Amino acid sequence: MGYGMKQISWFMAGAAVATAMIIGFGSRFAGVDADPAGIDESLFDTQDVARAQQLSGLHFDEAQRDSMMDGLRANLEAYEAMRGIDLPNHVPPAMQFNVLAAGRLPALEQRPIDWKLPEVVTPPENREELAFYPVEKLAVLIRERQITSLELTELYLDRIARYNDELKTVVTLTPDLARRQARQADEELASGLWRGPLHGIPYGSKDLLDLAGYPSTWGSAIYKDQAPTETAAVIRKLDDAGAVHLAKLSLGELAWGDVWFGGMTRSPWNTEFGSSGSSAGSASATAAGLMAFAIGSETLGSIVSPSTRNGVTGLRPTYDRVSRHGAMALSWSMDKIGPITRSAHDAALVFAAIHGPAERPRETVGAGSDRRETVAGTAAADPVLIHRKTGVFDLPFNYDPDFDFENLRIGYVKSAFEADYGYREYDRAVLEVLESLGAQLVPIELPDIPAAAIRFILSVEAAAAFDEITRSGRDTMMVRQIKNAWPNVFRTSRFVPAVEYIQANRIRTLLMEQMEEAISGVDVYVSPSFAGGNLLITNLTGHPSVVVPTGFDPESGLPASITFNGHLFDEGTVLALARAYQSVTEHHRRIPPGFHDSTEPEDGE
């Protein structure tokens, strides 16, 4: 079965309203005794309601408040019944956010990809330089058996031992696993089996992804001893691609910032500064040459911001493009997983391996198998698109490394580029580079819906995801206890009315529709990474972005960045444009001083 576009658009709001009605009408719908006599009437009275209503900007008179009392007490009884049910972090709400509500049908045909790997790569005399080689070069060296995966793995493990105390990127090292996987990769090559460009390539994963047999700490002392028994889908996919897992990498506690129970993760460009977050370790470790690439995640800037601070390339894919099975949930409707790499081309190589559902579907859909759905309006013979069980899109990734400047239209957010903000000259230089490559730049404007007004969607979902630590008081174990940190945000979010949360998501539907209209005339567009509202809007709408370095602050030495953005499910075009920009610039080839015996740019493309 499938939904039409309008049905999909209203699905989330309709399900949310139904859920709110169930809770709002109290325990009569929750399967518990609805008799308000079961609640101590002295707990609150009409005067408490009079004060509480001010938190929502509402006004009810005394008679109306008195009539509400039985229902409010019944609601409280329902809440208590709900809290007696175990809700692990991975259990999602029945309401499912669906980016197809924007009304754009994705491509359905997978085309062959010519990765254009270098024909010849010569290993450096100084093997230490391999630490900063891009994946595309390392892949050729390993495939041609000019270096071994085990040699590369030992190189990275040695660099982690030298630099991790300073950078604080690693939460849990996995050396035994890495060496075992590297030996297997080398043995397979010796027998004639090459799994593809990631075969034998060492990497790290953000420590909100489960790896069976190793802790998943989520950056918090609360979860330091958490021992998963399964492995996250994205790590299993990388296993299948032949990649070598080196370490679980730091994240800001519960995916905010760069501070975790082990301290602050630092940027190798200037260790007086934090790495930014929350994919702090993933970005810092990649920039410092501690691994070839890393996996990060983003809910609102957690790939874009640390990639900027560390001068690396980060891909935030379309929402639900990469399976989140086995990942910590922060916001079910906004969490996304993506690669952090040395170049846009490397990001494409990694994304090709990790996108899609956790498991491939069975050929025959029968009893007990995962049911799957198609998008309404497509022919019956078209490839299926969505795993109903996981909700993850099973769509092609079409990528041509050569960007077609003649036939593709590039937009730029005109008002954002004209605003007064830091590093504006860097961003304008990017537009000049694109024009020199033959780009016809088209001015666009993003929707004028005040996205900041509905940002609390994230906070509410996060408060629900970590409800237990708020109610138990374990939130006091978290490192950051300031106003602008999770413990206070979780508590504050408990006072957001369910009606306003649903209304915010209805506005989000309008934002998605207007976003599709705003970019309908271009194939890809460019925006400042942090000015003009693009970061928040695209995280709410689920559109993909690639962030790349554009220069370095002459005083702090810290990198700046710009963001390339595209249509839903079209990571390929965005990555191709980013690669075209990087093909004529050197910023992504720079090496952090102090982490290599040479500061000269490497030939990474």
Domain layout of the chain by residue ranges? 1-85, 127-358+389-450+508-589
| pLDDT confidence of residue 38 | 58
The predicted-structure confidence for 534-552, as pLDDT tens digits, reads as follows: 999 999 999 999 999 999 9
Q: Which of 288, 311, 308, 307 is nearest to 296 (CA)?
A: 307
Task: Give the pLDDT mean for 254-279.
Answer: 98
The predicted-structure confidence for 555-567, as pLDDT tens digits, reads as follows: 999 999 999 999 9
State which amino acid sits at residue 228: P
The predicted-structure confidence for 371-387, as pLDDT tens digits, reads as follows: 444 444 444 334 446 65
User: Exposed, middle or buried, 58 (CB in 10 Å: 0-12/13-18/19+)?
Assistant: exposed
Average pLDDT, the chain: 88
Report the alpha-carbon distance of residue 345 to residue 116 in Å, rounded: 10
- The least confident of 23-27, 132-136, 374-378 is 23-27
Band (pLDDT 50/70/90 cuts) for residue 14 is very low
Asked whether residue 423 carries a pLDDT value surpassing 90, the answer given is yes
For 180-207, letters b (16+ CB in 10 Å) and e give ebbbbbbebbeeeebbbbbbbbbbbbbb
Task: Give the pLDDT mean for 132-152.
Answer: 98
Task: Give the pLDDT mean for 358-367.
Answer: 44
Asked whether residue 6 carries a pLDDT value surpassing 70, the answer given is no
Collapsing DSSP to helix, strand or coil, 550 comes out as strand
- Topology classification of domain 127-358+389-450+508-589: Amidase signature (AS) enzymes (3.90.1300)
Bigger pLDDT: 596 vs 335: 335
Residues with Cβ within 8 Å of 27's Cβ and at least 6 positions away in sequence, in order, are 33, 34, 74, 75, 77, 78, 81
Collapsing DSSP to helix, strand or coil, 126 comes out as coil
Band (pLDDT 50/70/90 cuts) for residue 369 is very low
